[in-house]
Amino acid sequence: MLNGRKYRYVFLIGFIVIILMFLMDSRFHVKSHLKVLYQESVKSLTQEMGEERRQERRSEKRLKQKIFAFIHTFPPYHQTRAKAVEMTWASRLDDYVFSTIQDDKNLTNSRFWLWDRVKAAFRKTYKEKGNDFDWFMKADDDCYYIMENIREVLSKYDPNEPWYLGELVTSGYKVYPSGGTGYILSRAALKKFVTALDEPKTKCRKESDEEEDIHIGNCFRYANLSLIPTVNKEGRHSLIPINLKDLVPDVLERNVFTKWYTTKSKIKVKTGKDCCGPKLMAVHKVTYQEMFVYDYLLYRVQIADLDDLDD
Ligand SMILES: *[C@@H]1O[C@H](CO)[C@@H](O)[C@H](O)[C@H]1NC(C)=O
Ligand SMILES: *[C@@H]1O[C@H](CO)[C@@H](O)[C@H](O)[C@H]1NC(C)=O
């Protein structure tokens, strides 16, 4: 017979076993997610807030053109950056997937595979989604997008022509769209790009390395894609490949990012208030905490109209 004390022990051990099983199960769950190159989203991990967002997304009035994105992330960032992306700007796309990698032991070398990853994701996107959307976007988990401003620009271009959107920077004599703010390809551009990759005499690089955006630049040129201008008449940029804190403050310490962008931008970029256009489209090097802050300031805060006050 169990006396009261033993009963408590049995109960306690049972309880611990159940908790452990639960933990192991959810760990298993996360792991199985990491094994796919493409994962639908981190939805299951952010169910509640995700649902609210999806409601918002359905009810939002949007321009006709449909935009699909694959968003590069990396196992250590699934719970932070990927979640933040999903809970903020990604909800304003027509559809998206996260492109991640196997959680194996080769993580330290992961940058080496960047070019292969981007090519694989574009090929897969073309094969599986190529006819279902007008525009196709490669994005990173540390970039914040203002989708409404992107839609406004894209709505002026025909997706059946080979257009792409990107921020041109230079490295020596090479000109290429900075990988940080990503690339958005029209339906026709996606087809030309993916076809060009496999042409017998292609000039698109075959072997992988980490200079993905430089190879993108070469390959887009080879495939004859045309750039959509993103710098306005006053020379203000709208795809910003560094954090705004390294560009906007007038009392700027010119750190390595500021120097890189102001010297390497294809079209001259100013620091201070005139850096960026009012129709800002993207900012790179954003922390996941900042994503929530941007989203809050842009979509939730209302500025009081003092002219409306009664006397
Ligand atoms: C790990 O990466 C290196 C390249 O950096 C590669 O040569 C090697 O085959 C990879 N190992 C595995 C198990 O994928
Ligand atoms: C790009 O345009 C040039 C000049 O019109 C043409 O010769 C070439 O075949 C085109 N390349 C591709 C990959 O379509």
The DSSP result for 21-73, as a single string, is HHHHHHHHHHHHHHTSSEES-SGGGGHHHHHHHHHHHHHS---S--EEEEEE-
Residue 240 lies in a domain: no
Whether 85 is covered by a domain: the verdict is: yes
**Pick from 161, 153, 134, 138: nearest CA to 226:** 161
The answer to whether residue 279 sits within a structural domain is: no
- CATH code, 179: 3.90.550.50
Question: Which of 50-64, 97-111, 114-128, 268-282 is predicted with the least confidence, judged by mean pLDDT?
Answer: 50-64
Q: Has residue 257 been placed in a domain?
A: no
Q: What is the pLDDT of residue 32?
A: 30
Distance 208 CA to ligand 1 centre (A): 12
> Which pLDDT belongs to residue 230?
95
What would the pLDDT profile of 135-149 be if each residue is shown by its tens digit?
999 999 999 999 999
In a domain, 191, yes or no: yes
Confidence of residue 89 (pLDDT cuts 50, 70, 90): very high
pLDDT in tens, 2-37: 566 777 777 777 777 666 655 544 433 333 333 335
The ligand that comes nearest to the alpha carbon of residue 113 is 1
Kindly report the pTM of this predicted structure: 0.79
The predicted pLDDT at position 288 comes to: 97
Please indicate, yes or no, if residue 255 is contained in any of the structural domains: no
**228: pLDDT strictly greater than 90:** yes
Contact indicator for 166, 172 with CB cutoff of 8 Å = no
For the chain, what is the domain count?
A: 1
Q: Which ligand is nearest the CA of 210, by number?
A: 1
Number of the ligand 2 atom closest to the C-alpha atom of 196 = 13
Q: Is residue 25 part of a domain?
A: no
Would residue 152 count as lying in a domain?
yes
More confident residue, 1 or 140: 140
Dump pLDDT digits (tens) for 181-215: 999 999 999 999 999 999 999 999 988 888 889 99
Q: How confident is the model at residue 257 (pLDDT cuts 50, 70, 90)?
A: very high
- The structure tokens listed for 9 are 């022990």
Range of the structural domain that residue 91 is part of: 35-230
Cα 82 to middle of ligand 1, angstroms: 25
Tell me which residue has its CA closest to atom 11 in ligand 2: 223
pLDDT one-digit tens code per residue, 69-82: 999 998 889 999 99
